[in-house]
A = this chain, B = another copy of it.
């Protein structure tokens, strides 16, 4: 891949921000350049076209999943405590990737193959990692008998939806419960269930 200069890097950062907030069409090359603090003609010296810039943004900011590295850290923790740590870290990772997630949701139909590939790689890694963790605990008879894949989907799903409503749909302005209370409540329900 082309080595990025300082100017090129600023262009990419500006582009990610504007592509994710305005969409591909709504983000003009004029505005991307201005936001990056350069002349528009300079943008076209670094990137052949707007479309190539968009592709570079996707390549540069694709997900770097890291839940795998987290599991050894919670291996010796009690199950419920471990799940809370995983939920909190997952939320933090999503928050760091907020702009890329917004970009994928907004433009998934403009570049379906690429964006779905990025997203799927990310989701599959998460799901498989968490499902593997559940399988291990089931072998140790710590967990009940349920489909680990579905369990992973359920858990990540409720956390992602909460992240989505708080950070992307900005409901956090109207929320009374803290993130900690909410994630803790999710974990409690996931671990203990809701029936008597």
Q: A interface vs B, CB < 8 Å?
A: 21-26, 79-80, 104-106, 108-110, 112, 116, 119-120, 123, 134, 141-144, 146-147, 149-151, 153-162, 164-165, 168-171, 174, 177, 181-182, 185-186, 188-196
Contacts and interface: CB of A to CB of B under 8 A. Distances in A.
A190 B189 contact: yes
A81 to B, nearest CB: 12
A147 B178 CA distance: 13
Instruction: Give the oligomeric copy count.
Output: 2
B150 A177 contact: yes
Q: Interface on chain A toward B: helix, strand, loop, or mixed SS? A: helix
Contacts of A23: 23, 25-26, 106
A174 B158 CA distance: 21
8 contacts: A105-B106, A144-B194, A150-B177, A151-B185, A157-B157, A157-B158, A158-B158, A160-B161
